[in-house]
Structure 1
């Protein structure tokens, strides 16, 4: 059985990313997660499910909420549809991890803690896509760690220095 997510909270790539996440506001984190998911993860979903727009709709809804165009219940409905798409993608680890990633990234508008799903699901989606799901776990994890490094660089690029309102995150790990 293929792993559905990375789960090593103590790994250097996890700890490094979490430390930066803790310095940023929920809004900054949501923009970063949604932008990264759309640029890197959504194309992985679309490779297998180009006609299923639920993940794109979730990202759009998150952006609309961030801009004040819609209320949270409307956004949450689209996000829940994305989570349904992930459940329906059982048997396709790349597509399933992609939809889970996107759902978590969009959910950052509700709770900043969800942005870590970008790393834990998204890096695995990228690794499975690049290496195949039958590659040895050590190779998968190395590829995922490298992707987490790119995620961290993307967050650093948009991070607000001395953020006055950092998210208060209880990692529960």
Structure 2
């Protein structure tokens, strides 16, 4: 691999990303967290496990986040798993960009339980994971950005399915991108 790979794809100022952000802002933190966890479990965990079948750390982060949503554990317990298991798995995978990006995306999904803007991080890392999985590591940047747009559309569609119309308690989102 001759070029330095990007950790994420997608653009924060792209119309599709801005539309996703506006939709996220209309939903409760619980809706956002459940949506990101479901998406990560259905779309990204399989990519990770295809390359790291014996590493359960990202799956453990999803499970711990769900336990928090169910009121069974405290947030520090989940944060420890996110940081010391899921993100640690990602840091160990410099030689496996698909699994690394998938683990980072899963970590962002688990992090959405305490901060809804983490849901956008899932998108950016998912775009890299899916792009590297589909195109390999040597495609043109423009090809990866096409995949990022497809991932954004899929992710947005998944939120529209579970979105609560006129949500009375929308999440507070301070976007840092």
TM range (shorter): over 0.9
Residue 33 of structure 2 is aligned to residue 30 of structure 1: yes
Residue 18 of structure 2 is aligned to residue 15 of structure 1: yes
Residue 74 of structure 2 is aligned to residue 71 of structure 1: yes
Q: Could you tell me which residue of structure 2 aligns to residue 86 of structure 1?
A: 90
Residue 80 of structure 2 is aligned to residue 59 of structure 1: no
Q: Could you tell me which residue of structure 2 aligns to residue 128 of structure 1?
A: 132
Q: Could you tell me which residue of structure 1 aligns to residue 43 of structure 2?
A: 40
Q: SS at 1:112's partner residue?
A: coil
**How large is the Cα RMSD of the aligned pairs?**
0.9
Runs of 4+ in 1 over 3 A off after TM superposition: none
Which runs of 5 or more residues in structure 1 are unaligned? none
Contact 2:10 2:149 in 1 (8 A): no
TM-score (norm 2): 0.95
Residues in 2 aligned to 1:141 and 1:172: alpha-carbon distance in whole angstroms:
21
How far apart are residue 98 of structure 1 and its match? 0.3
Contact 2:10 2:145 in 1 (8 A): no
Residue 168 of structure 2 is aligned to residue 164 of structure 1: yes
TM-score (norm 1): 0.97
Q: Could you tell me which residue of structure 2 aligns to residue 152 of structure 1?
A: 156
How far apart are residue 110 of structure 1 and its match? 1.3
Q: Could you tell me which residue of structure 2 aligns to residue 96 of structure 1?
A: 100
Residues in 1 aligned to 2:130 and 2:74: alpha-carbon distance in whole angstroms:
32
Which runs of 5 or more residues in structure 2 are unaligned? none
How far apart are residue 62 of structure 1 and its match? 0.5
Q: Could you tell me which residue of structure 2 aligns to residue 115 of structure 1?
A: 119
